[in-house]
Structure 1
Amino acid sequence: MENKKTIILGATPDSSRYAYLAANRLKAKGHSIVNVGIKKGEVAGVQIEKPEEIHTDIDTITLYVGPQNQPSLYQYILDTKPKRIIFNPGTENDELEQMAAKQGIETLEACTLVLLSIGQY
C-alpha cells in the first residue's frame, strides 16, 4: 500500500473527536501523519503543531475545521500544495474548493474514516 502522507487539519487529543480517530486509523493503515491544530498534545504518537510550518511532501490534507474557521488557514493549505483535500462532513466550503481547483488540487467531499474502512483512501 502506498504511504499517503496526510495532514490532519484540526487535530485534537480529544479521543471523542473524529480527527483523533482519523489520525490513529491513518497511522494504523501505514500512512505518515502531520497533526496540525490549535490544541496542545499529541495524537497517534505525533505532536500537534500550529499551522505555521509548510510541509512540501503532503499527499492529502484531511479537514476537521468548520468552514467558518477556514479562511485564516487558506494560505497555509494552498502553500502546502497537497495533491488533494478531503472535506469531511461539516467542513464543506465552496470558496476553498474553488481556490484549490485553480491550483490543480483535487478536492473530495467525503469521510476519511469511511474511505479508510472501504480501502478507497
Structure 2
Amino acid sequence: MIIGATPDPSRYAYLAAQMLTSYGHEIVPLSIKTGTVSGVEILDLRQRPAVEGVDTVTLYIGPQRQPEWYDYILSLKPKRIIFNPGTENEEFEKMAEAQAVEATEACTLVLLRSRQY
C-alpha cells in the first residue's frame, strides 16, 4: 500500500509504484489526489477504504499530515510501515511498534534495489 500515491512522474511515490510493480508486488495506491499510477486507480484516502491483507504500508506523506491517518493505517493491521525520507515520525513509529507493526525508517526504492524489500 502506498499512502501519498501520485500520478506525477516527478515524485518519489510515483517511482515507488513503478518499481514495486516491476518487482512483482501488487500495489494499492491511496491519496487525496486522483488519477492512476502503474495502471492502478488511486483510491481516495479520505474514504478510508477497507483493504484486506496489507503487508507493507509505504508512506509518502509528511509527519505533519500523518496524525489524521494514524487510526486508519493501524486498523489495516500491516506487518510493517516504511517511513520514507521526510516522513519519519517518532510518535507514529512508537504507536505502530506498540501494536506489533514493524516501523522502518528507510527508502522503498533503495530497499527494492538492494533486494531488502
- The verdict on a shared fold, with TM-score over 0.5 as the criterion, is yes
> Identity percentage over the alignment?
60
Distance 1:74 1:107 in 2: 13
Give me the TM-score of the superposition, normalised by structure 2. Answer: 0.96
CA contact (8 A) 1:100 1:107 kept: yes
Quick one: distance in 2 between partners of 1:33 and 1:18?
Answer: 15
CA distance in 2, matches of 1:56, 1:84: 14
C-alpha RMSD of the superposition: 0.6
CA distance in 2, matches of 1:102, 1:56: 21
**Which of these residues, 29, 40, 48, is aligned with residue 42 of structure 2?**
48
Q: Which residue of 1 is the match for residue 66 of structure 2?
A: 70
Give structure 1 stretches of 5+ with no counterpart.
1-6
How many Å apart are 1:61 and its aligned residue?
Answer: 0.1
Selected match of 1:35 from 22, 29, 32: 29
For 2:107 and 2:50, locate their aligned partners in 1 and report how far apart those are by CA, in whole Å: 24
Q: When the two structures are aligned, how many residues end up with a matched partner?
A: 115
- 1:56, distance to aligned residue in structure 2 (A): 2.3
Q: Give TM-score scaled by structure 1 length.
A: 0.93
Greater than 6 Å deviation, 4+ residue runs? none
